[in-house]
Structure 1
């Protein structure tokens, strides 16, 4: 039956203060039930779930359970109906002894949220123990001379029950000599005695046998009996008498052995040996008394013999008898009550019940970590205990009930700062001196995934030589996670993206566990100089956290490309270049130029040219520029020189090891006039049958000039529109073509500082070509024979490293961009700088060169040096020198005829018009020189 019911259950969604208040109120409430001892298994005790205000459906999810100090589960709760029932046999006498109050203290614990309730179940006594006498037989010796109303002390029976079940009534078997005098309820100290009602006569009755019965007050009644064997003695008719029937003594616990408790004094009215008294414990005294005390038979002193413990026995009751030496001896009796006084000799006892270990680092404040109970068997202030917590940690103790504490979280936790706490709970009593005890509590902080993996630095730079083997290891990325276990288990992956037309995963891969980065295929510096990507590191926590690191892989160039020779279409036979050279040329005349490119970069693409000696040849009158590839004469040619010269040019890069290629140049030495005719014929054949069939006359020249003027106007209008229209830097390359101007000495130059694309709505950018024909100086048209080209026609080129094309003659006489090699780094050579000895120039200045201008000059001056891969260095039209400026795109290998605009010559003088025949020859020569020099191709 419940006598108290806890308050209504609150909700855990309230604020923390309300939760703590609710927890305090519930922690201090208590239910009271009662149950009879020896109740059968399953006996109903109470509706505990209903009385606690808990719903039946909450019992299992909230882990409803009982906690008891007893090792035996005497009581249990049915989680289906919430009824508290008897689980095993309850013996009140075994559980509480002779204590008047006997209760079973239970702790009811539920989780989510955590609540603790205290339940007290009172165990009621039933009459299950009969009265028991110390012995089944009691021997008494009574002198026949004893007076009437003499009292003889008897040892009463004891009953293990309590209350009315332990109230005893004594009954003596019917007889004529003795009556029984039993103590009442108010006289518990008064002994049980036989009273002599009729004088004894040994000669009539030498012994009397009686039966003493003890009946308790239970229902049904239980009884116990003892047989009294009374022997009637003769003579000594005075028994020893104590001055007190009951002695009260107070004794401190834990006193030393041999400590005097009391000195007894009895007297005997007899004389002689009948008055000499000896003191003894009663025969039926308990073994505990004999083990703890001893008595001197002669002096009557009682001393401490064993351990006196207040917690074991608070009151000792000792029966003493005094015997004289009469014959028969006579007895006197007394009772000694020894009250044991408590001292503070017991330290408090701590019991810690862990509930929520380990503790996650993100648990809210006020979370209960553990339950602590404390007991002290001492009494009064010696048993009053207080608990403290050390050291100063993010926890605190909260008192929930008498001698019960909760260890709760007081401040936030961070496992990365501290992963475990060693707490010391100290319990102190109120005694003097105080006693204390300590208990250690190890609180482990469980990790939650609150830290992302961290790389030592946000970016790494890696250098890798090209042509690496597939699957080679290039780098290791490593990230560190401050969390623990699976929250710190880092895996790596690529952040996928596109590299050109291919996925990043086709180039590199990363090992998920070790972070090793591998190159899946050989990398080519000429295709990919920089591979930049990101690697992601993610932990295995829930939810997963991650971070990225950037890797810049620079592909270093190796010398894996041989120089490639640019062989012109015209003037080559079987791969060898054929050149016609007049024997009248002077020393230093440029005969031909060998062009080659190298797809590598830096020193691996820096080319040098060497003239190899041929077997059986004499000292060659030719040399080759070390870095220009120009083949020039070292001296004036004479008749002794072989008319056919075979030159073998070795092209070598500066890589390690160096790679080489060879070019063969066939030089034919001819007379001056013959060389000019052959050159003109070759130009005509090159330009095609349409130009060869033109009949040069005055009308044709006028028509050409008119058309040229119209084209000039068209170009000027087109240029004006281009300059006025807004340019988009992303669609059209910035920059404008340079101006064309003439100098006082009759030289022409065109400087193209930046490439410019012609942007249109559809189709790839076109390549532009502009050809300018300057006015002819006076007297240039006179004479029967054609003018010999000036050998000092030169140009200088400062090319950006990486120009990808060469120039060839097209069938209609239009220049076209031909296939070219990869980029090459070259130095910038000024047009004003004379050519060094043997054609040498300074080493390459590196990949940073970004100039793309050409200057063509006609007139006296030193020859200019050029780099490989540039356009033909001179375009000569006999009698009418012209300047050609070409802009080209590296990715476009063909130039459409429609992309070029040709400017005709200015109007001839009237003197020239009259000389038709000379003009026809002159016009053919001009047309031939306006395209290109065959020997340079």
Structure 2
């Protein structure tokens, strides 16, 4: 029975809870009450039933009740009168801590029908909590060496109340050594410091006891206290002292690592461990200082630890702290200013820009070629840079600004002399020893057409054999132009003029590009011995420049003319002719003479005479002069000699091959009485003529010697005039000289008497004398004479 009743009650409770959850959000209205904390049991809060509009008689039948989710027993409703009252102690600090609002949420539930009402009860604060310090007694240690106004922070009190009830104020018991410094951060936050206002001396005052009182703003006010026990310590009251507060040191850059910079020597007036000093860099020194320097903690020596570069940093500032071994430790400070001394460890740098290349060889002085900038990272004299150029170049440096220069033209250029310059700029600093750097500029000189083509000689002498093939190459002229490219491209042309009745271009031509000179037709020495003309050379520059060269073309003789016998009317024998010879003439008597001429010259016109083999028999009493052509007796004539003598005279020149002509001479031997009357006279005349000829030849020899001397003098004068005036033309017409030869008897005879034309295009004819060199031996009968054509000399008369 009992278990059944219990089960019924549990089911009823479950149904009630389900109905409660279903109708949790339903209700009619909401109430708000307030009650102070710490209110006594039964303290009136509010007429909740009346305020909710419920009848007092309905409270019990409808199961009126108050539910609180977390604090259901703090408040209760009297079902008889419907009053909400305090059921148990309410501690606001326990419920809400230091929150500004502290509200209890109540749910009023009635059944039949089910209704839920929400009620808020605000718990208001009362000043029921005094200020509380973290500890009741606090021991503070103050060094006797503490300075005035030194502060020691104190932890303030806390108050569990809020608002004015938690607004605290403090006061310190009277003390001649300390006062309380209060700094208000905000309405509820304050900072407390115990500040020294009078120096402490442990020997006079070993300790000070103070009472710190905290008071809140409640009514009535509540207080809290803490006992401050200040213990005066006899500690290390002398800190290390450096000789100087600031040390200034100079260190040469690039000094070796480990070099001593400075040795610190701080002193401490204390004794024992309180005077033992340890050195160190300040904690706020830069990493660069730690990389560059190190300090010995015991000796105070500061040495280099890394590479020092003046260009990286000119000075360093090092903060050093000296700690003693006292307890507590005291420290002293100093500053070290390390100034680096620059060394000449950086070479100058050269930068060349704005090149105006190539430069024309006719550029004016002062033309800017390049801009040059120099720099040196060193300082002072080590960074002062001077610039210079390679000597003997037509350029100079002009300073335009600090360490800036212009490379300008200083003198005239001549590309043909020097076509490019390797200009070396040398920058030298003022250090000791000095450092320098070089930079090279290649200056190309561009060409202008300032040189005419030039021949190696002003005049060339060319020898050409006559009867040449048409179009044969006789010579090549070549002119050199010192310019370049188009300005040096040379073309050749004849300087046209007339040669006699014909144009020069009918004789010769010049190839425009190669300068080859060609003979356009066969040349005839007998017609033209010398052809003198000019060839011009002109370059392709703008404007073009040109020059001329003179060519003297001598037409050399060839043996193309046979000897020709003079006709009988000239006093010589031609063909076959008879002569009467008296048998009474003695040896050496000239009985006749053969005369011949040769149109050639030189050796080719040098004639010799001889009797053909067998002419007159083996015992012929006659002979012929080798070079005179005179027929003379070799012995006296006798009866045994045939009355009729037939002589065949062979006339031969000295050409290669030799050409010949023959003359037949018929001699009739008669008795002296049978000879014509005129014969003696003829012989006498012939003898007188021979004697006269000998006398004439003597004078001729003297004249030839004089002319030879004059020849040497004339050649010297001619060479001097040619050097002085190389452009003067030669004579246009020259006479072909007579060729002479010494005879067996010392006489001379002419091998040729005609005159020839020698043309150079202009000028009157002149007469020349051609003679043997004095070194040529006499021509004698029966002797072999050497070649003498090359020994001929010409003298213009």
Q: How high is the TM-score relative to the length of structure 1?
A: 0.38
Q: How high is the TM-score relative to the length of structure 2?
A: 0.43
